[in-house]
Amino acid sequence: MNMLSFLGETPTIALRLAQEKCGEEAIVVSTKKISNAKESGKDMYEVVVAIEEEGKNFNHTKSINIAQKDTLISNPKPIQTNVYDFREEILKMQAALEQVQKSLWNPKSQLYDLNIPPEFISIYNLFEQNEFDPEMTYTIMKKTIRQLPVSLKSNPKKVNDFFKLILRRVIPIKHELPLRKHQRKIIMMIGPTGVGKTTTISKLAARYAYKLGQNYKVGIVTLDSFRVGAIEQLQAYTNIMRLPLEIVKKPEELSEALLRLKDCHYIFIDTAGSSQYDVDKIELINDYQKKVEELPIEKILVMPANVKQSDLLDIYKNYSRLGVDFLTFTKLDETKSFGNLISFAHKTKKSITYFSIGQNVPDDLIVSDSTFLIDCFMNNSCVRR
């Protein structure tokens, strides 16, 4: 890229000279007045143009005679035109601007006082792509910028490992523990329609009955008599796994059903799904609970991973009236964003028990593990093991 300077008593004259010398492909960079008639006897303007030269050499100094008939310039003098190659400088400026643009905080977050260092840009982009809560992103970034030793900032792997460590600290996890002797556990799965409660129960029943090597006796109770095919689906699974199934249609029948399963180590209760905004149906589940309130029942809220955090919060808000103890996330194979799960679990302080990563029973079930969720986060996809 060459820069050429042309002078004339008017901008039009100077521009005409530039076009005659350089052609129509010249790009005008600047036009300015460099002298006036009061000081030097005549006005004088400078036009600077840029031109890409291919196969044509310019000398670093070039004389241009502007004493032409139409220039109206008396006593013409050769004018020295300095030619500079600004290609490298322009490319450097473009690269610097791109870096600055990437490091500026996204205005949508309304957090303007934080500039992301170049070393953290790739991680910051991961937080954005994973729809991580903006306030949590801000806090994590600010803390990391302040705490990460300077010696580690130049090492991308060390930077990634540091962020993984921070994420591991904010993800609440409930680890799977074996039952104590003579202990039994009743687990009620609650949540909206279509999140996969019945399929998740089938996976868990198969896991505890056959995959842990503990010879656990497992029973299933269903309260879902509303959804077409719900009972038939569970009956098909329990027949294959040779597990007892109790069908309960009224709240007062639940205690008798649980009594019939008293020899089971694990009892899973499947509930009818409903919209998180259908308070009446949610309260109906509460009616069942009240009939057996003397029994310790663990409530696990089952939620889909492929919805935004505001929807997760709405689900939690309305189902929390049932007393949510833990979380299970389904449909991890149907999303590429996992920041909403981490943010939501951290905000609600409810530990995650399991992840469902597909429809296959019992294989598509992952025991809660922060490393698994962080790997999904870092790769923008469900990482199957």
**Parallel/antiparallel/unpaired status of strands 297-304 and 266-270:** unpaired
Burial of residue 190, with CB atoms counted within 10 A of its CB: 0-12 exposed, 13-18 middle, 19 or more buried: buried
Q: What is the pLDDT of residues 356-377, one digit of tens each?
A: 998 888 889 999 999 999 999 9
Residue 207's pLDDT band (cuts 50, 70, 90): very high
Would you state the structure tokens that stand for residue 88, as one six-digit string? 């490298």
Asked whether residue 321 carries a pLDDT value surpassing 60, the answer given is: yes
Mean pLDDT of the residues in the chain: 81
The residue behind tokens 């241009």 is: 64
- pTM here is 0.69
**Parallel/antiparallel/unpaired status of strands 44-51 and 27-35:** antiparallel
Spatial CB neighbours of 339, under 8 Å, sequence gap ≥ 6: 127, 130, 131, 132, 133, 377
Q: What is the pLDDT of residue 27?
A: 76
Arithmetic mean of pLDDT, 297-303: 96
Q: What is the pLDDT of residue 55?
A: 47
Q: What is the pLDDT of residues 21-39, one digit of tens each?
A: 887 777 777 788 887 766 6
Asked whether residue 244 carries a pLDDT value surpassing 70, the answer given is: yes
Asked whether residue 157 carries a pLDDT value surpassing 90, the answer given is: no
Residue 70 has φ and ψ, to the nearest 5°, of: -90, 5
Arithmetic mean of pLDDT, 176-182: 87
* For the ranges 5-9, 32-36, 374-378, 381-385, the one whose mean pLDDT is highest: 374-378
Burial of residue 22, with CB atoms counted within 10 A of its CB: 0-12 exposed, 13-18 middle, 19 or more buried: middle
CA distance 240 to 201: 14
The answer to whether 361 and 211 have CB atoms below 8 angstroms apart is no
CA distance 25 to 19: 8
Q: What is the pLDDT of residue 128?
A: 85
Question: 286-311: buried (b, 16+ CB within 10 Å) or exposed (e) per residue?
Answer: eebbebbeeeebbbbbbbbbbbebeb
Residue 79's pLDDT band (cuts 50, 70, 90): very low
Find residue 269's DSSP bridge partners.
188, 221
Asked whether residue 54 carries a pLDDT value surpassing 60, the answer given is: no
Arithmetic mean of pLDDT, 263-269: 95
Burial of residue 283, with CB atoms counted within 10 A of its CB: 0-12 exposed, 13-18 middle, 19 or more buried: exposed
Q: What is the pLDDT of residue 53?
A: 60
Question: In Å, how far are 283, 288, 297, 313, 321 from 318, measured between CA atoms?
Answer: 10, 17, 19, 9, 6
Residue 72's pLDDT band (cuts 50, 70, 90): very low
CA distance 308 to 119: 28
